[in-house]
Amino acid sequence: MKIFVEGSNLFRRRTGIGQYTKGLLVELARFDSNNQYTVINIGKQQKDIPNDLPSQPLWSYKTISYLSSGILKGLLIATGLRWPCIDSFLSEKPDIFLFPSFLRWPLKSSPKSITFFYDLSYIACPQYVTTRTRLYLSRLMPRSLALSDHIITISQYAKQQLLEYYKVDPAKVSIISPAVEHELFCQIPASDTLPIISKYGLSPSYILYVGTLEPRKNIVGLLNAYAQLPAPIQQQHPLVLAGGKGWHDAAIYQRLKELAHLPIIRLGYVPDEELPALYNNAALFVYPSFYEGFGIPPLEAMACGVPVITSNSTSLPEVVGDAAILIDPQDNQQLAAAMLNVLSDNVLADQLKSRGLLQAQKFNWQQSAQQLMALFAI
């Protein structure tokens, strides 16, 4: 079969959706030697193919030179996802078209279409989503879901929200969870991590957060909780924020400015290949997000043997099981107490490490990719 993938999210700085898409495609390339794959980038200009994407003979890449992302989204909102037809720009017609970024684009031909749905944040908590994204998804999702032959979502929580809000036929929805790239995210000898740690001017035993700096991730809450820790704990365990700049982040940077006297280190966006070294040298990983359709960073931290504290809401308890300390993301004092507890109790920290390693093993890309491939034959 000819399988096309709308893979624009793979060609820019990747966050959750891009990482998930990459993980599935890399694993498909490892064991699928029959189907042909074409990954499509929609953009104003040709972009280099990232070197971490499959390069086998059955894989090819194509750029559809079109309008800027902003103008294109505006047109799609205005037309209700009825224009333009993406396959009008393709010389071949696929048997299956995968749409990993929420929206099933209009098509002139009629291949089987599989669309990925991640969360309902634009409805459930619109204050954490940009106005453009909220309008874009709210306007276009109903038609996108109706046009899709099958829908993939990433957690039981996300599926439940999808079924409740959009009244989609449950038989039309499958859960394929994100996973951990275990060859990359694993326990590493300290000596092998030194080049990366030295690059960022870090010393081991810090508190780590990985993710975009945006309101939904509760960065201000994390900063406020860290500010409550005793000064000796702060000096021993600086707070390291590894993540790119998000939207609506004035409050985050204002709070960082107010806490400039504390050992808080901002690294900015960190490439995938450098993250394992950061995880391995952390004393604690904290992810107090308000809302997640899944949440990959806690699993990556667990796979590297790091104790994890995360939120007790949305999908996160489903992801971490009994291997993390769960806190109310609205309660900064509870978060601070949990951080202090883990950092002060080696027995507890070791228990969380052991449980985390086992929990992370439950999520692997081979299993997820095989689940996706099984849908091709339906």
Q: DSSP string of 118-151? A: ---HHHH-GGGS-HHHHHHHHHHHHHHHHH-SEE
> Same structural domain for residues 112 and 201?
no
Q: Which residues pair with 240 in a beta bridge?
A: 208, 265
> Same structural domain for residues 94 and 174?
yes
> Same structural domain for residues 155 and 13?
yes
Task: Indicate the range of 8-17, 94-103, 266-275, 349-358 predicted with least confidence.
Answer: 8-17
Domain around 344:
190-361
> Same structural domain for residues 248 and 309?
yes
Question: 242 or 8, which is more confident?
Answer: 242
> Same structural domain for residues 126 and 48?
yes
> Same structural domain for residues 175 and 230?
no
Task: Indicate the range of 77-81, 177-181, 327-331 predicted with least confidence.
Answer: 77-81
Question: 189 or 67, which is more confident?
Answer: 189
Decide if 93 is inside a domain.
yes
> Same structural domain for residues 135 and 234?
no
Q: What mean pLDDT is predicted for residues 49-70?
A: 84
Average pLDDT, the chain: 93
Decide if 132 is inside a domain.
yes
The pLDDT value given to residue 131: 86
> Same structural domain for residues 371 and 353?
no
Q: What mean pLDDT is predicted for residues 308-329?
A: 98
Decide if 353 is inside a domain.
yes
The pLDDT value given to residue 7: 93
Decide if 63 is inside a domain.
yes
Decide if 185 is inside a domain.
no
> Same structural domain for residues 156 and 16?
yes
Which residue shows structure tokens 């306007």?
139
Instruction: Give the CATH number of the domain where residue 70 resides.
Output: 3.40.50.2000
Angle at 62 between CA 58 and CA 66, to 5 degrees: 160
Burial of 293 (0-12, 13-18, 19+ CB in 10 A): buried
Residue 82 has pLDDT above 80, yes or no: no
Contact partners, residue 130, CB within 8 Å, separation at least 6: 247, 248
Residue 23 has pLDDT above 70, yes or no: yes
SS percent in the chain: helix, strand, coil, step 5: 45, 20, 35
Cis geometry, peptide bond prior to residue 288 (ω within 30 degrees of 0): no
Residue 233 has pLDDT above 80, yes or no: yes
Cα–Cα distance list, 39 to 7, 25, 43, 86, 223 (Å): 6, 10, 13, 13, 40
- Span 148-170, pLDDT tens digits: 999 999 999 999 999 999 999 99
Decide if 170 is inside a domain.
yes
Query: How many structural domains is the chain composed of?
Result: 2
Decide if 184 is inside a domain.
no
> Same structural domain for residues 87 and 159?
yes
> Same structural domain for residues 369 and 352?
no
Decide if 48 is inside a domain.
yes
Question: 82 or 251, which is more confident?
Answer: 251
Question: 136 or 148, which is more confident?
Answer: 148
> Same structural domain for residues 211 and 355?
yes
Burial of 275 (0-12, 13-18, 19+ CB in 10 A): buried
Q: What mean pLDDT is predicted for residues 194-218?
A: 96
- Span 248-292, pLDDT tens digits: 899 999 999 999 999 999 999 999 899 999 999 999 999 999 999
